[in-house]
Structure 1
C-alpha cells in the first residue's frame, strides 16, 4: 500500500498545497517518512488526511473559472464505522463548495472497499448544494458501485456507463471536464 501514490500528471498545472483556496494549502510532504496507515499498513505520504481512519484523498486539479475539482480517493470508504462521507464532506467538499466549486469528479480506482449505511444525509446535502452542478465517480470497482446502488448512493453520485474514461491519466483536466459536462448534460437534461 505504501507504493500507491496519488496521480501526479497534472502537478505542473495545479498543486493543492500551493493553492491558497485549497483546504490543503500549505501542507508539506515527505517522500521518505511514512506516518499514516490503514489497518496497520503504511500508505504513501502524499495522500492527504481527512480525519478518517481508512479514507484519504488528493485534490488533483481544481478550476475555479469552470467550477470543477478532480479528487482522487484512496483506501476504504467506510460510512458504517467511520462515517467517511461526513469527513470527506466537512473536511474537503464544504470548503470547495464555499469557493464556488459545483462539479466534482471523484476518482476511485484506489478505493478498495465500501461499507455503506442507509443514512444518506451527507450525500443528500452535497447533492442539494451543487444545485445545477453534479458529482461523478470515475473508475470505482464494480463491487463498490454495486454497494453504492444497494445503499442508494447512486441517487447522488453518477457513475458507470459512458462516464468511464479509460485513458483519463493521459488527458488534460479540461478535456475530462468537457467530456463529463457533455455526458452529464444528456443524463440530467429534459427527457
Structure 2
C-alpha cells in the first residue's frame, strides 16, 4: 500500500500546501519518513490526514474561480466506526465550501471498502452545494453498491459514465469540464 501515491502530475499547477485557502496550507511533507498507516500498512507520505484513521486524501486541484475541487482518496471509507464522512465534511469540505467551491470530483480508485451508517452528512453536503454537484469517479463497483445500500447515491452522482479511466491524461480543467458535462447530461434527463 505504501507504493500507491496520490496523482502528482498536476502538482506544478496546484499544491494544497501552498494554497492559502486550502485546509492543508502550510503542511510540510517528509518523503523519507513513512509514518501514516491504515490498519498497520504504511501509506505514501504525500497523502493527507483528515481526521480518520482509515481514510486519507489528497486535494489534487482546486479552482476557486470556477468553483470546483478534485480530491483523490485512499483507504477504507468507514462511516460506521470512524464516521469518515463527518471528518471529511467538517475538516475539508466545509473549508472548500467557504471558499466558494460547490462542485466536487471525488476519485475513489483506491477506496478498498465502504461501511455505511446514515446519510445525514451526505444530505447536508448535497444541500450546501446548491447549484453544484458531487461526483464519485472510478469508485469500485462493489463500493458503489454499498454506497447505494445506504442511499448515498441520492446525493452523490456515481457509476456509468463517471467511470473515467483516462482522467490522468487530461488537464484538471478538461477533466472538470468532462465531468460537468456528464453531470449536466444526467440532470437534463430528470
Q: Does TM-score exceed 0.5, indicating one fold?
A: yes
Alignment length (residue pairs): 190
Note the alpha carbon deviations across 1:15-63, whole angstroms, 9 max, x for none: 0000000000000101111111111111111100011010000000001
SS of residue matched to 1:71: strand
Within 5 Å, give how 1:34-113 maps onto structure 2: 34-113=34-113
Show the counterpart of 1:124: 123
Show the counterpart of 1:155: 154
Instruction: Please report how far the alpha carbon of residue 190 of structure 1 lies from its aligned counterpart in structure 2 after TM superposition.
Output: 6.2
- Matches of 1:58 and 1:33 in 2, distance apart? 18
* Runs of 4 or more consecutive aligned structure 1 residues displaced over 2 Å after TM superposition: none
Within 5 Å, give how 1:175-186 maps onto structure 2: 175-186=174-185
Structure 2 residue runs without a partner (length 5+): none
- Matches of 1:48 and 1:128 in 2, distance apart? 26
Matched, 1:136 2:129: no
Note the alpha carbon deviations across 1:148-179, whole angstroms, 9 max, x for none: 11111100110111122111001001111111
Question: CA RMSD, aligned part only?
Answer: 0.9
- Matches of 2:109 and 2:164 in 1, distance apart? 12
SS of residue matched to 1:104: strand
CA contact (8 A) 2:139 2:163 kept: no
Structure 1 residue runs without a partner (length 5+): none
SS of residue matched to 1:85: helix
Q: TM-score, normalised by structure 2?
A: 0.98
